[in-house]
Amino acid sequence: MTASPRARELVNVAALAADSKQAEDLVALDVSGPLPLTDVFLIATGRNERNVVAIAGEIEDKMLEAGAKTLRREGRAEGRWILLDFGDVIVHVFHEDDRMYYSLERLWKDCPTITLNVASAAESVETEPATEAAE
């Protein structure tokens, strides 16, 4: 079994939202095989507690705009590991220390990854070569 097309669409919405708040190391895992309750995990990292909360808030806003309501939310007060449950998609936003400690990618290493359609702002900005003024 693989993730539904709707789950794949929503994980990209969440990934774009996370990227817009400078989330790092975005990873999407298709967990539909071992977990009958959800299709996709999105894992993201924030640099500090404030960034973690901002990333989670932006994801909730954009997912709501896409028609996905937050079913459950955990960890927002601490800002170290925020879990957002949207049904088909579960988002984990970690502080970098907690992400290394819990290492969800290692726990779910047998699950296939999903390619995300995210180009961070730094990668998408194209600069034109400087031209020297003619004398």
Residue type, 82: I
- Half-sphere exposure in the Cβ direction for 90 (13 Å, CA): 19
Indicate the helix (H) or strand (E) that contains 42: strand 40-46
Provide the residue ranges of all domains of the chain, joining segments of one domain with +. Answer: 5-114
Question: In a structure prediction context, what are the per-residue pLDDT tens digits for the chain, which is 135 residues long?
Answer: 688 999 999 999 999 999 999 999 999 999 998 988 999 999 999 999 999 999 999 999 999 999 999 999 999 989 999 999 999 999 999 999 999 999 999 999 999 999 998 875 444 333 333 333 443
Q: Are 40 and 32 in contact (CB under 8 A)?
A: yes
The per-residue pLDDT for 120 is 55
The per-residue pLDDT for 117 is 86
* CA distances from residue 89 to 28, 39, 131 in whole angstroms, order as listed: 10, 6, 47
Which DSSP state fits 55? Answer: H
Indicate the helix (H) or strand (E) that contains 44: strand 40-46
3-state helix, strand, coil in the chain (%, to 5): 35, 25, 40
pTM of the entire predicted model: 0.85
The domain 5-114 is placed in CATH, from the list 3.40.50.970, 3.40.50.11540, 1.10.10.10, 3.30.460.10, at: 3.30.460.10
Torsion, Cα of 82, 95, 63, 68 (10° steps): -30
